[in-house]
Structures are given as structure tokens and as C-alpha cells.
Amino acid sequence: MSKCKKCNIEVLDETERCPLCGSVLEQTDEVENMYPNVRIRTRKMTLISKIYFFCALLAEVLLIYVNVVTESRMWWSMITGLSLFYGYMLIRFAILGKTGYRAKAIVLTLIAVLMVIAIDFVVGYQGWSVNYALPAGIILIDVGIIVCMVVNRRNWQSYMMLQIFMIICSVVTLVLRLVGIVTVPFLALIAFAFSVFLFLGTLIIGDRRARVELKRRFHIR
């Protein structure tokens, strides 16, 4: 960076003379590190995630040992292990992950639902996880989609593919009902209806813009 004493201006270009008056420029000290170094924060979070993983692994091994020594009828240590794993996923995926917030929210919600189903099996399968937790998770994501569409009104059509994905997930609950795994279909039907009507409402209200988005996504001319 150079400075012209006569015009009292700073020149960023690598030139020896002022572009206004032609006077010889004086070299000034260059400013370094004008922007914050984001790598430092990323490295700190990566280190924290590694420390957490080591501590969680150590704690889980200890809890498994206590579970075995006490001769408990229930493997409660698996529940603590799943909780510690979810905490690790929050750090690595939600904080350090480079994917968008939509993908993070969906993946973390689905992982939470799968964890609840696993916990149901650990405590002695009663079916409450697939009867209530699974459809509740689908409804929760649908509500999140509505909130995101309201907040991001200019780009609301980008959430239509996510709506289709949630319809597929809700159909899974109905299939589980047909095979007898889901024994209380009330909440599953609500989740399916919620997902379908959310998509239909977006398609009808969105009109041409919604149809254009679907054609673009499915490469239809």
C-alpha cells in the first residue's frame, strides 16, 4: 500500500506515482490479517470434539463394566452410550459440519428417532417408539419446514423436495402398520395427512412457481 502526501490518498495498486497528481508515492506499512482467522476456531472445535470423543469412550467403557458387574437385567449402558454418541454427532455434524442447516436438522432428528427406537428395544420392546416417537418426529420436521418457509419467504419453493421426502417417511409408518409393527395407527395417520396436505397446500398456493420448481427438480420440460 502506498500514500500520496500531496493528495492525501492511499493507493492500493502497485504503482510508484499517484494517479491524480503524478507525485512519487511513499510506501506505508501493509496491513496483514485484515480478516479474522476462522481456521483457529475450527481447529479449537475439532480439538474439543476429539477430547469429547475420548472422554465419552472412556465413560462408556466404564459404564459397560459397571453394567456387567452389577448383573443388571437391562443393558442401561447402551442408553448412555447412545446419548453420548448423539452429543458427539451434535458437535461433529451440527457445529463442524459443512452441510446446510436443513440437512443438519433432518439428519439429527432422524438419528434421534432411531435412538429412541433403539432405547425401546433395550428396555424391552413395547412399541411406543414406532407408535409415537417415529410419527411425532415426522410431524416435528413438517412443522420445522413451515417455519423455514415463513422465514425464508423468497426461496420457499426450495423446501418442496423436503416435503416429498417427509411424505415418503410417513408412508413408511403406514407400511409398518400393514405388517403389524405399528399397533396404534392414529398418530401415523396424522403424520401422513400432515405431510400430504403440507405438500398439496404448497403446490396449490404456490401455483406456477411451485410447478416450475418441481419441473426443474425432476428435469421435466
Residue 179 grid cell: 405388517
Query: What type of residue sits at position 74?
Result: M
Q: What is the dihedral of CA 110, 111, 112, 115, to 10 degrees?
A: 120
Q: What is the pLDDT of residues 165-183, one digit of tens each?
A: 999 999 999 999 999 999 9
CA distance 56 to 6: 65
Which element (helix H / strand E) includes 4?
strand 2-4
Average per-residue pLDDT in the chain?
A: 85
pLDDT tens-digit readout, 88-137: 988 888 777 777 777 788 888 888 988 999 999 888 888 999 999 999 99
Q: Which of 133, 202, 201, 204 is nearest to 169 (CA)?
A: 133
Distance separating alpha carbons of residues 42 and 3, to the nearest angstrom: 37
* Residue 15 near residue 2 (C-beta atoms within 8 A): yes
What is the reported pTM? 0.70
